[in-house]
């Protein structure tokens, strides 16, 4: 079994089994963001997924424009990705070696590879996929500055298949504890911050109430200077009316000296909040999304 890690910087050839789509995008964006920050090259093999990735990177306020124009962040188009993943297995080693070698020749200190490259092998069966990952593993062992993160959708593989795939990766990436029901994912990036990704509706609204109550309790018990509570809503795609009312009523419970900061809500979420009277609540402050994050949504 591979060792289990939480730190993305330790990744060599690593697999991950996200619990939801939001979890997968969260990990993908974090992996890419970290690589760009460290000055490494990032190569993303897309399969009609580039828009969704760029949307999440915008949510996370990861500046990518200069990285793309400067060649640090490469997005391999869908057709090229499919050509690699559906081609013969003996073409994988040269293709990977070429990507890593080219990156090294261009002077990048390391290269991170991620994307949908493995998806094309799924129809060929588990054995083909495991063999593919074995080849990748061998290439990466020979190239320690290269990293590859492979994400496997729990809905597509049973536990036996996942174990077989884990056996050909050096490590497995796990995330910190989070609430995730497949529709809504909530993480706590900082002590006074909650990050909400996905959708809030009647099916999971009680979670929101619990979180707000918890944040209020933490605040009231705080013996230090009170800090504002931040709800990062950049990746929240829908908030129903009762959810918006929960946010508003939750904020009203906070002392007048404190603020509940709503960070980067999308226009649809902001509209729901406004229609429920958020503008009249002194404790609520909306921090608009950045121009990059706001585009196209």
Partner 1 sequence: MSAGPAPRTAERMRHAVGFHDSMADLMSQLAPLVRDCLLRGETVALSLAPPTLSALHDRLGDELGGERCARDAITVLAHPDGPQGSCGQSLAVRRTRELEALTADGPVTVIGEHDSHFDGPDGRFWTDLDAAIHVAMAHLPIRMVCFYPRYPLHGVVLDGARRLHPLLWEGGDLHPNPGHRPVREMLAEIPAPAPALLGAPHHAMDLGAEQLVDVRTLVERVLRERECPAERLDDAVLAINEVATNAVEHGRGPARLELWAEPQGCVAEVHDRGDLDDPLRGLVAPEPGQARGWGLWVARQACDYLRVWLDEAGTHVRIHVTV
Q: Which is nearer to partner 1, 55 or 133 (CB)?
A: 55
Q: Which of 101, 104, 86 is nearest to 45 (CA)?
A: 86
Instruction: In angstroms, give the least distance from the CB of 199 to partner 1.
Output: 6
Residue 292, SS3 per DSSP:
helix
CA-CA-CA-CA dihedral for 270, 232, 296, 203, to nearest 10: -70
- Rounded distance between C-alpha atoms, residue 11 and residue 170, angstroms: 9
Cβ 157 to partner 1, closest distance in Å?
Answer: 23
Beta carbon nearer to partner 1, 126 or 183: 183
Please report how close the Cβ of residue 166 comes to partner 1 at its closest, in angstroms: 30
Least separation in angstroms between residue 269's CB and partner 1 is: 9
Smaller CB distance to partner 1: residue 202 or 221? 202
Q: What is the DSSP letter of 118?
A: G
Q: Give the helix/strand (H/E) hosting 79.
A: helix 78-86
Return the number of the residue (156 or 297) whose C-beta is nearest partner 1. Answer: 297
| Residue 296: count of CB within 10 angstroms of its CB | 9
- Considering the complex, what minimum distance in angstroms separates the CB of residue 254 from partner 1? 13
Please choose, from the candidates 57, 148, 40, the residue with its C-alpha nearest in 3D space to the C-alpha of residue 96: 148
- DSSP states along 170-221: SEEE-PPP-EE-SSEEEEEEETTEEEEEEEESTTTHHHHHHHHHHHHHHHHH
> From the CB of 238, what's the least distance to partner 1, in Å?
6
φ, ψ (nearest 5 deg) of residue 267: -60, -35
- For partner 1, the binding residues (CB under 8 A) are 183, 199, 201-203, 238, 240-242, 244-245, 248-249, 252, 267-268, 271-272, 275-277, 280-281
Short-list 184, 148, 201, 178, CA closest to 32: 148
Q: Closest CB to partner 1 among 66 and 267?
A: 267
Identity of the residue, 47 or 199, whose beta carbon is nearer to partner 1 in the bound complex: 199
Q: 120 vs 250, which CB is nearer to partner 1?
A: 250
Give the strand order in the sheet containing 13-16: 3-5, 171-173, 13-16, 146-151, 111-115, 41-45, 73-76
């Amino acid at each position: 079994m591979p060792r289990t890690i939480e730190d993305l910087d330790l990744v060599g050839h690593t697999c991950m089994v996200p619990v939801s789509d939001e979890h997968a995008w969260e990990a993908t964006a974090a992996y890419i963001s970290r690589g760009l920050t460290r000055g490494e090259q990032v190569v993303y093999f897309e399969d009609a997924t580039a828009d969704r990735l760029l949307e999440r990177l915008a949510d996370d306020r990861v500046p990518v424009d200069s990285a793309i124009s400067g060649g640090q962040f490469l997005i391999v188009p869908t057709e090229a990705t499919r050509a690699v993943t559906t081609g013969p297995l003996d073409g994988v080693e040269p293709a990977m070696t070429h990507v890593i070698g080219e990156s090294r020749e261009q002077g990048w200190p390391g290269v991170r590879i991620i994307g949908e490259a493995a998806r094309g092998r799924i129809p060929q069966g588990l054995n083909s996929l495991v063999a593919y990952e074995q080849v990748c593993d061998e290439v990466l062992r020979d190239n320690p500055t290269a990293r590859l993160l492979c994400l496997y959708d729990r809905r597509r593989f049973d536990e036996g298949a996942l174990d077989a795939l884990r056996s050909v990766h050096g490590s497995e990436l796990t995330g910190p504890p989070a609430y995730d029901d497949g529709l809504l994912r909530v993480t706590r990036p900082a002590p006074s911050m909650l990050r909400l990704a996905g959708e809030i509706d009647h099916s999971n609204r009680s979670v929101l109430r619990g979180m707000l109550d918890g944040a209020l309790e933490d605040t009231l018990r705080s013996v230090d200077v009170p800090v504002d509570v931040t709800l990062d809503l950049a990746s929240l795609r829908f908030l129903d009316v009762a959810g918006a009312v929960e946010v508003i009523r939750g904020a009203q419970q906070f002392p007048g000296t404190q603020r509940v900061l709503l960070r980067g809500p999308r226009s649809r979420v902001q509209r729901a909040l406004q229609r429920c009277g958020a503008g009249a609540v002194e404790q609520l402050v909306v921090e608009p999304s950045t121009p990059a994050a706001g585009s196209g949504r």
